Amino acid sequence: MKLYLGIIYKDGKIINHRSLLKIVFNPLLRLFGWQIATRFDNEQLGGVVLMKCPRVWRNSWIFDATDCVVERKRIFI
């Protein structure tokens, strides 16, 4: 099993951004209705934000990156 960290592209478009911070803390935060997210505007990634989300009782950090390109890049707050 691989951890796909960084910016994930599919067909030349950004579909996800994964970081160790988000993988570690989001499962716990989602139990309380919060999540760490990456701001995204006009095909540009921004900083990290804390935002509300629906409560989730089962979480998975496994991500299927089949047919995707992963660019390792850090996003700062």
> What are 16-67's pLDDT values in tens digits?
888 888 888 988 898 899 999 888 887 778 888 999 988 877 766 566 777 7
Domain of residue 28 covers 6-55
SS3 category, 22: helix
69 lies in a domain?
no
| The model's pTM | 0.68
71 lies in a domain?
no
77 lies in a domain?
no
Spell out a b/e string for 24-37, using b for 16 or more CB atoms within 10 Å of the CB, else e.
eebeebbeeebbbe
Decide if pLDDT at 77 tops 50: no
1 lies in a domain?
no
